[in-house]
Amino acid sequence: MKIKAINGFKDILPDEAVRWQYMEGVARDIFERFGAREIRLPILEKTELFARSIGEATDIVEKEMYTFPDKGITMRPEGTASLLRAFIEHGLHVQQPVQRLYTIGPMFRHERPQKGRLRQFHQMDVEVIGASEPRVDAELIAMGRMLLDELGISASLEINSLGCPECRPGFRRQLVSFLKERRDRLCRDCDRRIDTNPLRVLDCKNPDCRSQVQDAPSILDALCGPCDDHFAHVCRNLEALGVAYSVNRFMVRGLDYYTRTTFEFITGDLGAQAAIGAGGRYDGLIEQLGGPALPGIGFAMGMERIALLMEQQEVARPGPRMDLFVAALGEKAAGHAFPLVHQLRRQGLKVAMDHSGRSLKAQMKQAGRVNAAHTLIIGDNELQQQEAILRNMETREQETVPLQGTVTEQAHSLARRVRDNS
RNA sequence: GUGAGCGUAGCUCAGCUGGUGGUAGCACCGGGUUGUGGCCUCGGAGGUCGUGGGUUCAAGUCCCAUCGCUCACCCCA
């Protein structure tokens, strides 16, 4: 019985890792253009942290986390709670009034895996803490859009407002009574949802439920003055930045902590998992976690989903590329080449060499496979003449190069030649 | 937790109503080129047909069980 990775946990093989590195590089660059600084966080946290932030009674906390009950600790299901915990713990708010932070790493969910939905998944998470102005919402959303644009990924943007503790409860009551009147025309899941999570009925996939819900009261009509004003400004500021969006009054978030602005980047190319990135405002959460009364907003991008889209949409990515492949013919030449290769690497070159003493043909093939820009051929003849053949693999031009002096000197002049030549 | 589908070479897959596992494609190794890659050509290696049981003269193929994977539902971070 071969040992395999456990279900829902996936290896990212080298060919795919290239895509991930590219994605991460673009993301870091953009996050930093917006002034965000990286924060690295632990993967395990006290279970209580997630219970208090995500919501004690949510399915996530009740049954979908990787928890060690005897230890009272949990593998983080999302980044925001951990980030805020660290923010509060270290009093980062005293450093500057507004903090922009990002973190990239694995998260865990204990659920049946499906397409674009693994038990270990990865997110790129950005949070802006300490600012409640609608411009900040628009700026953050625009940053998400910029990231997807620069990765070459097309997705639509939907936004909504969930109101605040002032106006949401009223809307909730309104909605529940609306739904109860139509209880018999809703699917069984929605019938149950009326009691457990009525807002969820709004984005049920069942066509019957969808049509029933068309006439449901809109959260956007129920917003209090300040929330209504905030949302209007977010929309206006998105327009000022030229970010296209559509308002989806049915969009709901599963976490208890969201307030006001919520948004999702959506694609139709990933089966049932349409959201590739999502976020929202969480004014009040930091205080609830025992920190200062500061507002916050953030979003997370799902890296697996982005990687799948990059693959589907064939986003160009650089292949592997070695500067030089050293093909030595025979033991004597190999003995000479071995330290030379080491010196070339110290000079900063990416150098490969075969150690199995195979034919030149086989070694040339290998040079092609690692996409080497040049191949240095050293045989007994060359060795005697203190020279070698340098082949440009693209132009197929070859030149004889001297191998004189110490190994370091040889490496030095070779490195210069290879660099000038490419 | 629920439902459906699928497990044949490293990967992608043929294999019709049971009758000896495919010159299949990609990848790998070697020859054609006694010292020159990609293209071409010839050859080679590589398999407990997921596992266990059953039916049968005979099972990759049919039946049962089991494990694994995938997609979807619930939920959604």
A385 touches strand B (CB under 7 A): no
Place of tokens 């939907």: A158
Residues 285-324 in A having a C-beta less than 7 A from any atom of strand B are 300
A355 touches strand B (CB under 7 A): no
State the pLDDT confidence band at A1, using cuts at 50, 70 and 90.
low
A233 touches strand B (CB under 7 A): no
Does residue A357 register a pLDDT over 80? Answer: yes
Cα gap A416→A323, rounded to integer Å: 12
pLDDT tens digits, A112-170? 999 999 999 999 999 999 999 999 999 999 999 999 999 999 999 999 999 999 999 99
Nucleotide nearest to A270 (CA to C1'): B71
For A337, phi then psi, to 5°, come to: -70, -35
For A139, phi then psi, to 5°, come to: -65, -45
DSSP summary character for residue A92: G
Kindly report the average pLDDT of chain A as a whole number: 92
Q: What angle do CA A335, A340, A341 make, to 5 degrees?
A: 100
A105 touches strand B (CB under 7 A): no
Average pLDDT over residues A259-284: 93
Chain length of chain A: 422
- Among A213, A211, A209, A217, CA closest to A188: A209
> What does the pLDDT read at residue A75?
95
Burial of A84 by CB count in 10 Å (0-12 exposed, 13-18 middle, 19+ buried)?
A: buried
A275 touches strand B (CB under 7 A): yes
Task: Report how far apart the first and last C-alpha atoms of chain A are (Å, whole number).
Answer: 49
DSSP summary character for residue A396: -
Cα gap A419→A2, rounded to integer Å: 46
Does residue A69 register a pLDDT over 80? Answer: yes
Residues 129-188 in A having a C-beta less than 7 A from any atom of strand B are none
A332 touches strand B (CB under 7 A): no
> What does the pLDDT read at residue A254?
74
AA identity, residue A7? N
Residue A281 has a CB neighbour count (10 Å cut-off) of: 28
- Residue A397 (CA) to nucleotide B23 (C1'), in angstroms, measures 39
C-beta of residue A276 within 8 angstroms of C-beta of residue A298: no
- Residue A152 (CA) to nucleotide B74 (C1'), in angstroms, measures 33
> What does the pLDDT read at residue A319?
64
- Residue A114 (CA) to nucleotide B7 (C1'), in angstroms, measures 18
Query: Quick one: tokens of A391?
Result: 């082949």
State the pLDDT confidence band at A383, using cuts at 50, 70 and 90.
very high
- Residue A118 (CA) to nucleotide B49 (C1'), in angstroms, measures 29
Q: In terms of pLDDT, which residue wins out, A6 or A196? A: A6
Residues 240-269 in A having a C-beta less than 7 A from any atom of strand B are 253-255
A94 touches strand B (CB under 7 A): no
- Residue A397 (CA) to nucleotide B34 (C1'), in angstroms, measures 24
> What does the pLDDT read at residue A263?
96
- Among A57, A39, A49, A105, CA closest to A81: A49
Query: Quick one: tokens of A224?
Result: 């209090």
- Residue A105 (CA) to nucleotide B11 (C1'), in angstroms, measures 29
Share of chain A above pLDDT 90, in %: 73
What would you report as the CA-atom Rg of chain A, rounded to the nearest whole angstrom? 28
DSSP summary character for residue A282: -
Beta strands in A66-167 (DSSP E): 66-68, 73-75, 99-108, 120-129, 156-161
Cα gap A233→A293, rounded to integer Å: 23
Average pLDDT over residues A58-79: 87
> What does the pLDDT read at residue A204?
84
| DSSP reduced 3-state for A71 | coil
- Residue A311 (CA) to nucleotide B71 (C1'), in angstroms, measures 19
Domains of chain A: 14-167+223-312 (3.30.930.10), 324-417 (3.40.50.800)
DSSP summary character for residue A35: T
Nucleotide nearest to A393 (CA to C1'): B37
Kindly report which amino acid residue has its CA closest to the C1' atom of nucleotide B70.
A114
Cα gap A309→A19, rounded to integer Å: 11
Average pLDDT over residues A15-20: 88
Is the dihedral angle over the CA atoms A364, A368, A372, A373 positive or is it negative? positive
Cα gap A199→A176, rounded to integer Å: 9
- A261 forms beta bridges with A161
Which bases of chain B are contacted by protein, using any atom under 7 A from a CB?
1-3, 28-31, 33, 35-38, 48, 68-77
| DSSP reduced 3-state for A160 | strand
